[in-house]
Structure 1
């Protein structure tokens, strides 16, 4: 179906006047359409990035959650001491750091971590 409609419109991107053949045409050419689409996607990415940054700022970090716990697992202890898992296991093997096993889980008391530095 072809249309004989000719409507004078303004391009949503560049603002130039053009003759449209349909009532829903928004852009004067494919270039304006592509540029508008790319700008829209870029702005959405920037908004999403801003929201993601705000969420990261507002959520508590793992280190602040670790401070309140009396018992820590291996990963939390590594984060607290800022050492690798290998180093932590070496400390445990050398009996410099006392641990408690609950089934297959290894739990480290905060007091034992403090004793490591005495």
Structure 2
């Protein structure tokens, strides 16, 4: 619905002054409206991609938080340290671990929490 109203506005896309026929007009023309739409859609896609990536990054921590026994690699990722540092903590006696076999070292979750509260 058009009216006889003529309002001077500034385009939100190109920052040019234009005369609008309605009070809700944001853009000077169809091309600026389309460009602004594409920018909004691009930002929306980036936001959803970022949220999916964040969800995938946090998923392993949620799984590790539930486990009672952790491998050295899992404990290292939970503590945000290297596996070598985790082995060093085990060898120094700072972190209790059980050696089931040559490559089967397991760390109890309570031992990990105990070590963190000591420091």
> TM-score, normalised to structure 1's length?
0.48
Q: Which of the two has higher C-alpha Rg?
A: 1
Judging by fraction of residues, say which structure has more helix: 2
